[in-house]
Amino acid sequence: MSVDQKAPGRAVAPPGASTSRNAPPPARRRSRRVGSLVGMGFVAPAMLFFLAFLLVPIGYAIFLSFRGLRVDGAGGAFGRRVEGFVGFANYTAALTDAEFVAGLGRVLMYGLIAVPSVLGLALLFALLLDTPRVRFTAFARTAIFLPYAVPGVIASLLWGFLYLPSTSPVSFIARELGGSSFDFFSPPVLYFALANIALWSGVGFNMIIIYTSLRSIPTELYEAARLDGAGEWAIAWRIKIPLVAPALVLTGLFSVIGTFQLYSEPATLRPLTSTISSTWVPLMKIYQEAFVNDNLGGAAAASVVLSVGTLVISLVILRFFQRRTFGADS
C-alpha cells in the first residue's frame, strides 16, 4: 500500500535537475522537514481524539479491571474494606461468573445463526444482481439496502411488534385459522428471531459491498469463461466468489465484531418478553455490574475479556482467510 507514496517534495523535479537526486539542495531538504511538520499537523487533531476517546479509555478500563475492594489485612476479622489493587481477582470472578459465561454462550449461539445467514444471503443477492438479464435490479438493490438506515432499536421495535402475539400478522392468521399464537420468544426460536433482525438490518449493507466488489471484476474474464461454455453458476463459483473473497472477509469481520456487541436488540425486546433477562448478553451484564451493582472493577474486567476475545477472533479470521484468499492467487 505504501509503495506508491512519494514524499511530495520529490514528485516533481525541475527539468534537467536529475543530477540533484542524490544530494538534494538545502532548500528542498528544508521543505521536506516543513512537509513532515505539515503532515503531523493534519494528523494531530484526529490523533488527539483517538488518544482521548479510544486509547485513554482502554487504558483506564485495564487499570480499573485490576482494582476493587479488598479486606485490609492488618485488621483480621475487623479489617476495613478499602479500594486497591486486587490482581486478577476481577478476571477470575468474570470468567467464573455463570451469568457472564452463559451470556457469551448466547451471543455465540446467536452469532452462529446470524453471521452465516447475513453473509450468505448478502453474497447470494449480490451475485443475483450481477447476473445478466436479471430484472428489477435497481428496485431490489434499493429496497434491500433500505433497512440499513433503520436504527437497531427501531428495527427491533418493528420486528418486536411483528413477533408480539397481540400484533403479529403470523399469530393473527394462525388464530383466524383456528390455531394459537406463535411464540417467537421461546428460547430456540428467540435466537432465530434475533438473528432475523440482524439479517434484516445487515444484509443490504453487506450486499452493496460485495456487489461493488463484483462490479470491479473485468468482464473479459466472464466472456472468456462463457466462450468456454461455462454457465452462470460455474462462473459464480469459479470466478466471482474467489475474486470477491477480500470483500467477504471484510464484511465477515465487521459482522463478527458486531455480534459480540449485541445489546440494543435484546434490550429493546426485553419489555415484550420475560425470556430475556437483564443480563442476557455480556454487554447487558457489564452494564448492570457497572451501574446497578456499582462494581466498576468487575465491569471493566468483563469488558476487557470481551474486547480481547473479539480481537483474537478477528485476528484469527483475518490470518486464516488472508492466507487462503491472498496466498492462493499470488
Q: Binding residues for another protein, how many (CB under 8 A)?
A: 121
User: Residues 30 to 59: which contact another protein by CB under 8 A?
Assistant: 32, 35-43, 45-47, 49-50, 52-58
Residue 196 and residue 248: Cα distance in Å, rounded?
Answer: 20
Residue from the set 17, 81, 223, 237 that interacts with another protein by CB under 8 A: 223
Q: What's the closest the beta carbon of residue 74 comes to another protein, in angstroms?
A: 30
Contact at 8 Å (CB) between 125 and 203?
yes
Residue 157 touches another protein, criterion: CB under 8 A = yes
Comparison of 76 and 269: residue with beta carbon closer to another protein: 269
**Which is nearest to 12 in space by CA: 39, 31, 34?**
31
Q: Which residues contact 221 (CB under 8 A, 6 or more apart)?
A: 239
User: Residues 80 to 99: which contact another protein by CB under 8 A?
Assistant: none
Q: What's the closest the beta carbon of residue 87 comes to another protein, in angstroms?
A: 20
Given CA atoms 147, 202, 144, 318 in this order, what sign does their dihedral have? positive
* Cβ atoms within 10 Å of 284's Cβ, excluding its own: 20
Q: What share of the chain is helix, strand, coil (3-state, %, to 5)?
A: 75, 5, 25
Q: What's the closest the beta carbon of residue 121 comes to another protein, in angstroms?
A: 7
Record the cell numbers describing residue 105, joined without a space: 454462550
Q: What's the closest the beta carbon of residue 78 comes to another protein, in angstroms?
A: 31
Residue 255 touches another protein, criterion: CB under 8 A = no
User: Residues 256 to 275: which contact another protein by CB under 8 A?
Assistant: 257, 260-261, 263-264, 267-268, 270-272
Residue from the set 190, 194, 276, 296 that interacts with another protein by CB under 8 A: 296
